[in-house]
Structure 1
Amino acid sequence: MTDEHPQAWRVADSTQIVKDRWIDLRADTCVDGRGRTIAPYYVLKPADWITVLAVDESDQAIVVEEYRHGAGIVAIGLVGGAVDEGESPGDAALRELREETGYVAGEIIDLGSTWANWGNHANRSHHFLARAAAGSPRSRSTTARSSPCTWSRSTPSAIDSSRATTCSPG
């Protein structure tokens, strides 16, 4: 191991590939700290994202079952979506919860943010816990529905990620 610390790359050139309301993609020509050229290095710059773990007053998770085109599957997942321009992540979390499920949070807790994929994405993912969510499950369309979900864990430790956590929609 060396004492050499990583250095930021220099962007020698950048070409916009596509930019619209859904995606901002550019191809950079980068030069690393050792003078090596890395090209093209694609960078995605979508809007920031939010993810909401919503639980109702019975501590059941509120999940969304919907078609996810990128993966090509119908899957159960957490409430999530993009932060609209000019909108705060907290407001986006409340909006997405209402839009996707019909539920309204009694309390919203900001759990912090992470880089979505800091290798090639320039956006952040903001995480929230919505407690005491109230409302009634609804279907937004033929491709999405929401429902309360009972969580079960094969071990009492939430930290042990080697154990399966499952969700059984109500």
Structure 2
Amino acid sequence: MSKEFPSRWDVLEDNLHADCRIFEVYKRRFRRQSDGVESDFFVLDTNDWVNVLAITPNDELVLVRQFRYGTKEYSLEPPGGVIEKGENPIVAGLRELEEETGYVGKDARLIGQARPNAAILSNHCYFVLVEGVHKTAKIAFDEHEELLTELYPVQNLKSMVANNEITHSIGLNAILKLILHRGL
């Protein structure tokens, strides 16, 4: 039995619908190749993102707790942010780590990536592992940021995920990559 992929869709129109500071909303008209069905879809076009899995010498993961406007709740998640156009994800990760937490490290490497929500988002999120981090820098929050830095033993991550202590989906992806990378 052969596997067949669903029919591809061709872009017929691609129009900027709204510019919303951190992303642009595009209205895209698609046509399915198999039967000619056409429909409009809205896509959020934004820069790529980075999540940083920063590990202290005591094998603790640096997480941040911050208010999230979408859920109107506090969220516990890895530090991270926007990758500037043309910026290397590792460089962006180290920058975001320092700005948001004051932690710095040199042993950084990319351990994965994911599509945050392929149904409506065009970007990637990269996962950067930084080991042996130390708090040495001053925190430099962006205008709309106010974060609390917290340390958690890496060995507790699975139970934290199971107990819904971490619910941010991109953060969960990052932690899964760390668990797989470490063979936990």
TM-score, normalising length: structure 1:
0.81
Match of 2:37 in 1: 36
**Partner secondary structure for residue 146 of structure 1:** strand
Taking only aligned residues, the RMSD between alpha carbons, in angstroms, comes to 2.9
Please tell me whether the aligned partners of residues 116 and 125 of structure 2 are also in contact (alpha carbons under 8 angstroms): yes
Cα shift at 1:104 = 0.4
Match of 1:47 in 2: 47
TM-score, normalising length: structure 2:
0.75
Task: Write the distance in 1 (CA, Å) between the matches of 2:106 and 2:56.
Answer: 9
Match of 1:86 in 2: 86
- Give unmatched runs, 5+ long, in structure 2: 167-184
Q: String of CA shifts for 1:20-64, please: whole Å, max 9, x gaps.
A: 54111101111112211122x011111000011111000011111
User: Which moves more between the two structures, 71-80 or 55-64?
Assistant: 71-80
Task: Give the residue type in structure 2 aligned to 1:43.
Answer: V
Please tell me whether the aligned partners of residues 66 and 74 of structure 2 are also in contact (alpha carbons under 8 angstroms): yes
Which one has the largest radius of gyration?
A: 1
Q: Percent identity?
A: 24
Task: Write the distance in 2 (CA, Å) between the matches of 1:57 and 1:82.
Answer: 27
Aligned equivalent of 1:146, options 135, 146, 149: 149
| Greater percentage in strand | 1
Task: Write the distance in 2 (CA, Å) between the matches of 1:145 and 1:138.
Answer: 13
Cα shift at 1:85 = 2.1
User: Which moves more between the two structures, 133-142 or 99-108?
Assistant: 133-142
Task: Write the distance in 2 (CA, Å) between the matches of 1:137 and 1:87.
Answer: 21
Match of 1:11 in 2: 11
**Partner secondary structure for residue 93 of structure 2:** helix
Task: Give the residue type in structure 1 aligned to 2:148.
Answer: R
Count of matched residue positions in the alignment of Structure 1 and Structure 2: 162
